[in-house]
Structures are given as structure tokens and as C-alpha cells.
Structure 1
Amino acid sequence: MANFLLRRLVFSLQKRFFSAPTTSKSTSIRTTSKPIKNSSTLDNTPSKTSFKSTINDVSSSVPPSFSIQYLTNSCGLSLNSAISTAKKITLEEKNKEHFDSVISFLKSHEFSDTQITELVQKYPAVLQCRILTNLKPKIEFLIENGIQGSNVPKLIISTPAIFFRSLDAQLKPAMALIKRVLTSPDKLLVVARRGSWILTTDWKSWHKNLDYLIELGVPKRRVQELLVLQPRCLYQDIERIKYGVEMVKNMGVKPDDVKFIHTFRVISSLSELGWKRKVKVFESLGWNSGEVVSTFTKSPHCLSCSEEKLRNAMDYFVNTVKVDRRTIINYPKILMYSIQKRVIPRYTVWKILEERKLIRRSQFIWVLNKSESDFIEQYVTRYSDLIPHLRSIYLSCKEDSITPTSS
């Protein structure tokens, strides 16, 4: 019954807001009915009292009509989305002029209709923000700090909370802290895109983390690199930061080493239990604890690989390519390459050339480091006259890599 009533109400709203031609009689819902005689065959029929209660419940769940009308006609929301959004906020018709001014203001700063729709869906309260004391000074603040043009709406859409944080107490000190480390507006824009939340979250917490790393001896340019590559890494509990630092230092990597930040990034993303599990995976593949540390410091992101990927890579390199374990330990980066998309297609070409004695005997792993264009030029195009189908063989291997399970 409730579903039937709700459908009737939605139909009525659609007719009203979209001027649908009236083809049926009035859709008003009668709230009275004749008494129903008590009968065992009508046990599931609602009584007069429950019928009225159902109508009242459904009616109260439908937001004010102006809110829905404005959200659909002026903000571009679908009817269902407008009904859902209108439950979060009440838009009064007497304030329509202000809502229109907000939309016009946003459009004047390169917000497209689609972006306005997305913003209102995320934060409908933006329509109630004051322009002169809220929206305008905050957008001007972003522009003054190098975020301009179409980048303004992109940043706001990713973090609408900017409009709901204090300019003086939050946004300004957070921006000052970021600019203390960053040296160019371009990098600021990268950080703003990658971790836009950094402007709206508690800046005091990651201020401590920043100071700790700098006092520890991590060069400012390395901290800048960390902020650009993974800003969330700085937004952790200070004890977590200290744990990661100690782990890296115990591996023999000094704070001023170029490897420090990359090693710290991976360590800080792993729990102590997660680290132990990764170590056990490598040990099960034949590494001892010292070799695991050596592998990690040479190529920190190896520990970001899944256990399945590591096992598949070791199996292919050792049993098919015949690379000895010591070589892999010395050059662990090869474990990160996709077996299906990179290693197998290149090794297929390599074996053909080697069997034809067209290349000198050398380590296959060096071929993996080459860019795609360099590999094709040096190992495919160069020998296409002698082996006409070499390119098609290579491309076929790469295409086949789309369907198999991940490497």
C-alpha cells in the first residue's frame, strides 16, 4: 500500500514539475473509506486507522515541493536524486533569489552545469552559503595561491568541504604549511589534486609529522617529494610516523639518502603484521632475512606487490627464463613488471632472435628496462625484414595478456 501511495505521489510531482499533460482524473488521495466488516478473508486489509497512518507516513517522507522543483529545474538533478537530496535540506521559496545568485556566482568561476549538479548533490548546503563572506573570499584565496581557471571547480568538486571550513583557522594555515615545503605553484596544484583533503583536515597533526621528519634530517626536497607523491603519508599518527622511520633506519637507510622517502612510503603503509607477512613470502621463495632487507631497500615497491604476483614472477623468471635467484636479489625491480603484458611478450621475441643467432648472448633482464618504443625499434622493427611475422607475434602476445589472470 505504501509503495502504491508513493508511486502516486511521485507521479503527481512529475506532472507538476515537468508540465505533463493531464490525462486522468485528479490524483488526490482520499483519506476516508467506508468501514470494513470483520471477516477472516480480510485479515490483511488495512483498517481505517492504519490506512490514514500509512498516508501520513508517506506524505511526511516527501520533501517540500519547492525544494524538489528548484533542484531539478535550476540545479539539473534528476527527480529521484532531487527527492533524496531535498530530504537533507529545505530550500524555502522566499530565498530563491539567493540560490540563483549562488549558481550565477559559481558559473562566473568556470563551474559547468554538470559540475554544479555534482556539487549540489554532494553538498546541497552550498546553495545557502553567503557569497560575500564565504564563497567569494575562499575562491579568491585559492586563486591567489596558484589554483586558477578550470582547476578551481575541479578542486571544489573533489573537496566541497572547503566552503565549510574556516578561512583563517583552517585553510590559510594549511596552505601556509604546504607552501613551506613546496617550491612551485605547479607542485601545489598536483598536491591539491592528489590530496585535496589536506586543506580541510586538521593541519596541526601533520604539522607535527612534517617538523619531525625535517628535524630528523630528511632534506626539504625529499619531504616535498613525499608530499607530492603521497600526501596522505604525512597524515598519520605521530607514533606511526616514528615507527616507520625507525624501521627504515634499522635497515641501514639514512634520512638523507635518496631511498629514504620511497622506503618510508611503503613501510608506513604496512602494519607490523603486514610487514612480517611480506617477509615470510620472500623467505618462502628462498630469501634470507638479510636478502629481504637488501631487496626492499633497492626496490621498496616490491613489498607493495601481492603474494600471488611475487610467486608468479619468481616462477617464470627462475623456471622459464632461467634467471638465477642471486640476479633477482640484485635486481628486484624485475619482479614488479607485469608477467603477462611485458615479460612474456618480450621474452617470446627475445627467444626467437636468440635461436636465429641474431643477438649476442646477454642478460634478458636488461631488455625489460627499455621503454616500449625502444624495445620495438631495437628488437622488433630492426629484424622485421628477416622475420616478417615478428611484429604480429609480439602484438599477439600482448593482446593475449588481456584475458589471462593477472600476473
Structure 2
Amino acid sequence: MLHLPKQLLSLRLPASPVILSLRRALLSTAAATDAPLGAFAAADYLVTTCGLTPEQALKAARYISHCKSTSNADSVLAFLSGPALRLSKADIAHIVSHDARILNCSVDSTLKARIASLRSYGLDDAQVRTFLRVATCTFSIHEKLGFWIPFLGSPEKLLRVLRYNYYLLTSDLDRVVKPNIATLRESGMSPANIARMCVPNSRLLTCNPDTVKSILERADKLGVPRNSPMFRQAVATTTSLGAETMAAKLKLFGETLGCSAAEVASAVRRNPVLLRVSGEKLRRVTEFLTRVVGVDTAYILARPAILMYSLDTRLAPRYSVMKALQEKHLIRKDHSFYSMVTSSDDTFRRRHTYPHKDLLPGLDDAYMAACRGKTAH
């Protein structure tokens, strides 16, 4: 059967449309059967050698389907897994699935030079590996590190941002990023404050400049002065909340605490991050504070930060310690619950559990177990 197409092609057939169509089909078949047995099958290679799923391989194969052999791709994989980088198979599969063009790169003239460039920005070996994992298209955008690392302050901060906002490395610096920074500067923030705020809220730097202006306008409506340190928190809050969501949160806050819009506005001015608390958490914490601890709405509104703490791992365990100490007359009945809540864990234990280990030997163990969501035995 393999010789049939060639035999048919040699026949003198009338040049009718049907015959011409048949001849073109036979020519195609002949070309396929003449292809070398070792021809590079891109999708198969991506699955069997690079570890991609069949679905990933189908999408990535077009970037390397022109290759005639696996030699260059093999050298790239050897470099990625070799002593210079020591990437795992899973890491390599992740990188290749997101940008298979890396398999076309020259190891000596491209990859080694670009890895050296990453290191020149202060990334150590572990950070280079992390960068390759989170910035899978790094081989086309590494030059932007020269802007971001000095702006954010360190490679660690850049890597932290890249884990959830890869757009830092794809956004246009001149048309998007720098105008957004300029707008934030005009609101009274210093470059250092902008960088600190944008590590957890990097969308401010990469979204449409008109959106940034809208975010600042919504922050102004919360009543926090732009020259106040809390204005950064107001901006961070309005970055994550749309106008309708913010209005709904303000209404829910008032309904849950049973207070007026003016009282809500006052509390939010002192702590804008309150609006990012979920409705369920707000309800549970408010119920605990009013029904169990026994404080009123005025107490909460004067100390709105108390609503930010975890009920299960902070408020309830520390309240249990406070009650145990009060029952043994080791602290006053009117001891400030808020002061116990806001101290660091080390400070709390040093002040309230360690000094009483003789009189209440299981107190610290019970407290730590409660913080882990367990009951000490």
C-alpha cells in the first residue's frame, strides 16, 4: 500500500477536477509517508519529556512544532534541571506549559545570560528559582526588574507581589505604572508609602489610570484626610471594594452593631479596614463581644480594631484566660479585655499565663490548644 500513491502519481490521467483533487490528496499522502521516522512530534515530546498534560501540550505545541529534532529542547531541559538552577520536574512542566518558547532558546547565548541578569539584580539562587516559578514568561520581561526591585525595596517584596499579580511584569511602565504612581503622589503619599501600600495592593499600580483616580475618590468619601496615615488604609480598602459593595458594607455594619450612619462613619474613619471584614465574621464577633464578654456597642465603636481579630484563635482563647485569672483573683474584675486582645502572643503569655504556672499549671497548655482549635487534656 505504501507504493500505491507513487504508482498512481506516475499514471497519465485526464485532468478533470476529480482527478486533480485525487492527485493533490495523493501528493499529500506521499509527502507524509516520505517523512523521516524520527520526526519531532511536539505534543508527544511535551507530554512524555516535559511532563505536560495532553491538554497543555496541545496548546503549547505550536510554539515548537517547527523544530526538526529534540536536541535544543533537551539542552534547555538539562540546563533547567542542572546544577545552575536545580528546578524540579514539576517546576519545569509549569514553566514550559506557560511559555513553551523557552525550549527554542539557546542555553549559552540566551538562558545563561538572562539568568545572570536576574542574579545581577540581587536575586540569590533560591530567589531565581522562585522567580522562574512565579514569572513563567520571565525570558521576555526580565528587564523590568530594574524598575520594580528599587521601587518595592527588595527582591523578596517583588516575589511576594508576583505570586498574586503577575501583571507587574507585563504592564506598560510609561503608560500605566508611572502615571498611577504619579496620581498617588499627588494625593500626598511618598514613594516609600506607595511601595509599602502596594505590596499587598499591587492592583493600584497595574490597573487603568482612570480606575486609580476612582479608587482615590471613593477613599475620600470615607472621610479620611489625605494627609492622615490612615488614608493608605482607606485606599487599600477601596481598592478591593467597588462602590456598591462599599455602600452595602457600611449599611451592614450599622445594622449589625445597631448604630447610626454617623457612628459607623466615625469608626470607619479610625479604621477603614473594617469594611473588609466579612458579614459573617462581623456578626459572630459582635455577638461574642456583646453576649459573652458583656461589652456594649459604644465600647466596640470606640475600639473598632477589635472586630478585626479572629474569634476562634484570638478573642475566645484570651477571654477564657482572663476569666480564669479573674476567678483566682489574679487580675481585677475590671481588667481591660481590649488590652489582652491587642498584645502580641509572646507578650500575652509572658504577662498572663507564665507567671501563674504554679497556681494554674495547665493554663498555658489550654490556651495554646484553644488557639490551635483543640481542647487540651
Q: TM-score range by the shorter chain?
A: 0.7 to 0.9
Q: Describe the SS at the equivalent of 1:229.
A: coil
Partner of 1:356: 328
Alpha carbons 1:109, 1:153 under 8 Å: kept: no
AA paired with 1:161?
Answer: C
- Residues 1:311 and 2:283 are matched in the alignment: yes
Task: Name the counterpart of 1:240.
Answer: 211
Question: Is 1:187–1:228's contact at 8 Å kept on the other side of the alignment?
Answer: yes
Preserved contact between residue 155 and residue 196 of structure 1 (Cα < 8 Å):
no
Distance 1:297 1:308 in 2: 22
How many residues are paired up? 330
Q: Does 1:162 align with 2:138?
A: yes
Mapping of residues 5-404 of structure 1, within 5 Å: 66-67=41-42, 70-71=45-46, 74-75=49-50, 77=51, 81=53, 85=57, 88-89=60-61, 91=65, 94-106=68-80, 107=82, 109-114=84-89, 115-131=91-107, 134-163=110-139, 165=140, 171-172=142-143, 174-179=144-149, 181-193=151-163, 195-203=165-173, 204-284=175-255, 285-360=257-332, 361-400=334-373
How far has the Cα of 1:308 moved from its partner?
A: 0.8
Partner AA of 2:356 in structure 1: Y
CA distance in 1, matches of 2:109, 2:226: 44
Structure-2 change in CA distance of 1:126 and 1:259 (3 Å): same
In the alignment, residue 103 of structure 2 is paired with which amino acid? L
Letter in 1 for 2:94: E
- 2-side partners of 1:390 and 1:100: how far apart? 60
Query: CA 1:102 to 1:302, structure 2 compared with 1: closer, same or farther past 3 Å?
Result: same
Distance (whole Å) between structure 2 residues aligned to residue 126 and residue 98 of structure 1: 10
Distance of 1:183 and 1:159 partners within structure 2: 18
Contact 1:340 1:401 in 2 (8 A): no
User: How far 1:136 moved relative to its partner?
Assistant: 4.1
Q: Answer whether contact 2:98 2:137 (CA < 8 A) is retained.
A: no
Q: Any stretches of 5+ residues in structure 2 without a counterpart?
A: 1-38
Q: Counterparts of 1:227 and 1:257 in 2: how far apart (Å)?
A: 17
CA RMSD between the two structures: 2.9
Kept in 1, the 8 Å contact 2:218–2:243? The answer is: no
CA offsets per residue over residues 33-63 of structure 1, 9 Å max, x none?
xxxxxxxxxxxxxxxxxxxxxxxxxxxxxxx
Check the 8 A contact 2:40/2:67 in 1, yes or no.
Answer: no
User: CA 1:200–1:238 in structure 2 vs 1: closer, same or farther (change >3 Å)?
Assistant: closer
Shift in CA distance, 370/296, structure 1 to aligned 2, threshold 3 Å = same
Q: 1:250 to 1:70 in 2, by over 3 A?
A: closer
Cα distance, 1:400–1:98 mapped onto 2, change above 3 Å: closer
Equivalent-residue separation in structure 1 for 2:211 and 2:228 (angstroms): 21
Q: Which runs of 4+ in 1 moved over 6 A?
A: none
Deviations 1:18-46 (A, max 9, x none): xxxxxxxxxxxxxxxxxxxxxxxxxxxxx
Please give the alpha-carbon distance, in whole angstroms, between the structure 1 residues aligned to 2:372 and 2:159: 36
- 1:159–1:197 CA contact under 8 A, matched in 2: no
SS of 1:257 mapped into structure 2: coil
Tell me, in whole angstroms, the C-alpha distance in 2 between the residues paired with 1:158 and 1:85. Answer: 20
Q: CA distance change for structure 1 residues 336 and 353 in 2, over 3 Å: closer, same or farther?
A: same
- Shift in CA distance, 151/309, structure 1 to aligned 2, threshold 3 Å: same
Specify the code of the residue in structure 1 equivalent to 2:196.
E
Query: Which stretch has the larger CA shift, 184-193 or 227-236?
Result: 184-193
TM-superposed deviation, 1:339: 1.0
Deviations 1:95-129 (A, max 9, x none): 32211222233335314232223322333332123
The 1:391–1:146 alpha-carbon spacing in structure 2 relative to 1, beyond 3 Å, is closer
1:51 is matched with none
- The answer to whether the Cα contact below 8 Å between 1:346 and 1:368 also exists between their aligned partners in 2 is yes
Q: Is the 8 A contact 1:266 1:301 kept in 2?
A: yes
Offset, 1:246 = 1.9
Tell me: CA distance 1:389–1:311, structure 2 relative to 1, closer, same or farther (3 Å).
same
* Cα distance per residue 1:60-97 (max 9 Å; x no partner): xxxx874466446643x27xx25751563155673322
Q: What whole-Å deviation, never above 9, does each CA across 1:197-216 have from its counterpart, x for those lacking one? A: 31123332222111111133
Deviation by residue 1:292-317 (Cα, 9 ceiling, x = unmatched): 22222322222111101001111110
**Cα gap change, 1:109 to 1:211, in 2 (>3 Å):** farther
- Verify the 8 A CA contact 2:60 2:99 in the aligned structure 1: no
Q: Check conservation: 1:346, 1:394, Cα contact below 8 A.
A: yes
Q: Alpha-carbon deviation of 1:158?
A: 1.2
**Residues of 2 paired with 1:256 and 1:217: CA distance?**
6
Offset at 1:397? 3.5
Check conservation: 1:123, 1:160, Cα contact below 8 A: yes
The secondary structure found in structure 2 opposite 1:146 is coil
Q: Which moved more, 1:85-94 or 1:331-340?
A: 85-94
Q: Is the 8 A contact 2:171 2:177 kept in 1?
A: no
User: Structure 1 stretch 283-292 or stretch 191-200: which is displaced more?
Assistant: 191-200
Alpha-carbon contact 1:85-1:124 (below 8 Å) kept: no
Instruction: Give identity over the alignment, percent.
Output: 27
Cα shift readout 1:124-180 (whole Å, capped 9, x = no counterpart): 3321234466534433332222223121222122121222x3x5xxx53x4454356
Instruction: Evaluate the alpha carbon distance shift between residue 353 and residue 264 of structure 1 in structure 2; reply closer, same or farther with a 3 A threshold.
Output: same
